[in-house]
A and B are shown apart, each in its own frame.
Chain A
Amino acid sequence: GAVVSQHPSWVICKSGTSVKIECRSLDFQATTMFWYRQFPKQSLMLMATSNEGSKATYEQGVEKDKFLINHASLTLSTLTVTSAHPEDSSFYICSAPGQAYNEQFFGPGTRLTVL
């Protein structure tokens, strides 16, 4: 099946700094990608939909100025957590739809820890 990669797999940063997470579709193109966040013992929550060539669509309650999304090409979407705080510590996962009906490929996730 198709592969979605994420980089980095984990990152530790100081409070107030910005962190960029990359999501790549390795062998297929994705005009849309999705970003999810998962807190410990909680479900994955959709944060935003990344659209190639246009602005991302954010879910209610997600600050677009804090979580900057850039869909730079048909194979790359980036999520930048700006001015990170400890409460932003979470597991961030991206996904991209495949060719088949409602097929979804998920990245391995990025563990963010903000000190």
Chain B
Amino acid sequence: KQEVTQIPAALSVPEGENLVLNCSFTDSAIYNLQWFRQDPGKGLTSLLLIQSSQREQTSGRLNASLDKSSGRSTLYIAASQPGDSATYLCAVGGTALIFGKGTTLSVSS
């Protein structure tokens, strides 16, 4: 059974700092891996999708990597801003997804 773990559960950083969020999964046979952002009481916003054949994806200040062999993914956020404060979710699967519990990020100004 696939399990997704995210570390750390919470993270507080000052504005401008670069940071890395970690995601690990137990079954390397995945279709793809996605990173989402969830604001309090809100739905999900897709940030990056890495297909199983890819190793990384970039969008603006965000960069996500995927290492299927080790069952790990990282989300790198450059030059963090207070507006980046949210919960970041990692999910694996195809159309139906298995989620981690998320990392709650707080960026102070």
A residues bordering B, Cβ < 8 Å?
A: 6, 32, 34, 36, 41-46, 49, 91, 93, 95, 97, 101-104, 106-109, 111
Tell me whether B42 and A32 are in contact (CB under 8 A).
no
Is B83 interfacial (CB 8 A cutoff)? no
Set A46, A107, A111: member contacting B96, Cβ < 8 A: A46
Complex Cα spacing A32 to B96, Å? 10
27 of the cross-chain contacts (CB-CB < 8 Å) are A6-B43, A34-B95, A36-B99, A43-B99, A43-B102, A44-B99, A45-B99, A46-B96, A46-B97, A49-B96, A91-B41, A93-B43, A95-B44, A95-B97, A97-B95, A101-B51, A102-B31, A102-B51, A103-B49, A104-B34, A106-B36, A106-B43, A106-B45, A108-B43, A109-B41, A109-B42, A109-B43
Chain A residue contacts of B97, Cβ below 8 A: 34, 44, 46, 95, 104
Identify 11 new A-B residue pairs, CB closer than 8 A, beyond the known A43-B4, A106-B36, A109-B43: A34-B95, A41-B101, A43-B101, A45-B99, A95-B44, A102-B31, A104-B46, A104-B97, A106-B43, A106-B45, A108-B42
